Amino acid sequence: MRAMVLREPGPADASPLRLEEVPVPAPGPGEALIRVEVCGVCRTDLHVVEGELPHRRPRLIPGHEVVGRVERLAPGVHSVSLGERVGVAWLHRACGECPYCRRGQENLCDAPSFTGWTVDGGYAEFVVAPADFIYSLPDGLDSRAAALFLCAGIIGYRALRLCEVAPGESLGLYGFGGSAHLVLQIARHWGCRTYVVSRGVRHQELARRLGATWVGGAGERPPEKLRSAIVFAPAGEVVPEALSALDKGGTVAVAGIYLTPIPELDYQRHLFNERTLRSVTANTREDGRDLLRLAAEIPLRAETQEYPLEQANEALQALKVGRVQEAAVLRVSPASE
């Protein structure tokens, strides 16, 4: 099969991924082989490719927003069917036995594996995944949109839950890319006032088009105190800005797996009056199922920019420098009927 392979991490503009012919993987016990139709290009992929997340394998196929059809099943797998259209997300597998898994926090598992980081992902014509961690997708859902929902959507939804915003309250979004443009739609569906801070002019335009209450540039302060905020930008210096914009008792959730160092916080200015700063770590399968139901209810609209598989380096570089206004998706194979 064709795959974009990472052998040594490097900057996206140096094209560290190489198109190679590699063996089609075989599904192990409890697994399914999936023929990939599309795979989203996520900022986490950029962190993996550039080495900001530690390189775990001598040869890695990135990609964790995977949509495709089930091609083959291991014996005894009945939770999905041959030919079914499914999605594969970041959480590849959890152990199911550690204290966190037993209490429903599989996103904090002691021995997890992650698609496109610790195991091969979807920048390829085929991928294997545990059947119990695969999402069934309705036939009416566009594959490119579904790919974006499988990480940007799930993580954004979990961040919304953890920042504790309630319907009708004020929400700040710091950084505005694939995840934030979905969160904005959910927040508007809940009747929230949404305040977007982004350095990118094109991203600001998208936020306005999607109905943000207010849009400002980097360093600008929203015109009202925020009940909650989510930091999507992987820049630690944004965290104090978001905290200082909070009302008393507000919460900032940091939605990225990677963040540059946070500058020194001032207790009185940033945390006093019971303000909360918390991280968002991976997701549970429940998050994914809830988000997919909500996406159909609203319905969520995902704006995507398509690249062929062999242009994965170009897609990552465009994401890095802000040329992707919404979200990038790799087309791996033609859409299936």
| Residue 245 is assigned to a structural domain of this protein | yes
| Residue 296 is assigned to a structural domain of this protein | no
| Residue 120 is assigned to a structural domain of this protein | yes
Q: The domain that contains 267 carries what CATH number? A: 3.40.50.720
How many structural domains compose the chain? 2
Residues 167 and 268 in one domain: yes
Residues 113 and 173 in one domain: no
| Residues spanned by the domain of 110 | 2-142+302-331
Residues 168 and 262 in one domain: yes
| Residue 163 is assigned to a structural domain of this protein | yes
Q: E-assigned strands of 152-291?
A: 170-174, 193-197, 214-216, 226-231, 246-254, 276-279
Q: What is the pLDDT of residues 300-310, one digit of tens each?
A: 998 899 999 99
**Residue 167, class by beta-carbon neighbours within 10 Å (0-12 exposed, 13-18 middle, 19+ buried)?**
exposed
Q: What is the mean pLDDT of the chain?
A: 96
- Asked if 19 and 1 count as a contact pair (C-beta separation under 8 A), the reply is no
Residues 126 and 160 in one domain: no
Q: What does DSSP assign to residue 263?
A: P
| Residue 293 is assigned to a structural domain of this protein | no
Q: What is the mean pLDDT of residues 126-138?
A: 96
Type and span of the H or E element at 73: strand 66-73
**Residue 79, class by beta-carbon neighbours within 10 Å (0-12 exposed, 13-18 middle, 19+ buried)?**
middle
Please tell me which residue, 38 or 325, carries the higher pLDDT value: 38
Q: What is the pLDDT of residues 160-207, one digit of tens each?
A: 999 999 999 999 999 998 899 999 999 999 999 999 999 999 999 999
Report the share of the chain in percent with pLDDT over 70: 99
| Residue 96 is assigned to a structural domain of this protein | yes
| Residue 190 is assigned to a structural domain of this protein | yes
pTM of structure: 0.92
- The answer, yes or no, to whether residue 337 has pLDDT greater than 60, is no
| Residue 51 is assigned to a structural domain of this protein | yes
Q: The domain that contains 325 carries what CATH number? A: 3.90.180.10
Residues 72 and 176 in one domain: no
